[in-house]
Amino acid sequence: MKKIVSDIIKKMIEYFNGDVKRINHAIKVYGFAKSIGEIENISEEKLEILEVSAILHDIGIKESEKKYFSSAGKYQEIEGPPVARNILKEFSLDDKFIDRVCYLIGNHHTYNKIDDIDFQILVEADFLVNIFEDNMSINNIETIKQKYFKTKGGLYFINNMYLK
């Protein structure tokens, strides 16, 4: 699976076609997601789903901007799964794996749909990156932490990066 993850990173970079901001965002979310997943000691299967989902979580943004002139989360959730499925069909991944990745991509801004640890970690990893990229205030960070962070790895990162 390790090689497939690297190949999916390459496909994501090709898809974003020089949009370094979006590429860097995906790589940072991937790094945090992988680290939190390992800290939480999730199963190898869930970790692989999480890693692929993190790499592709915002893959719908180009189509969202094209169709809706917006990068809003709700549009990314609509447009992301078909793009991800198209990328993932090139690899020998089973349907259950691809379906779960597409579910996470298609709901990663809908926090009341968090249904398992892979989804929880993806949300936390995305917030860890967005906090920095959006230059959020301490009050916003505290609110996000209280509302959305549950894992010991995610809590460690948010506390030690932003709330010292």
Structure tokens at 85: 């499925």
Residue pair 102/81 in contact (Cβ under 8 Å)? The answer is yes
The position carrying tokens 């298609």 is 106
Q: What is the pLDDT along the chain (164 residues), one digit of tens a residue?
A: 668 999 999 999 999 999 999 999 999 999 999 999 999 999 999 999 999 999 999 999 999 999 999 999 999 999 999 999 999 999 999 999 999 999 999 999 999 999 999 999 999 999 999 999 999 999 999 999 999 999 999 999 999 999 98
Domains in the chain (CATH in brackets) are 2-162 (1.10.3210.10)
* pTM, rounded to two decimals: 0.97
* Cα–Cα distance, 52 to 8 (Å, whole number): 7
User: Residue 164: what pLDDT?
Assistant: 86
**Token representation of residue 76:** 């990314």
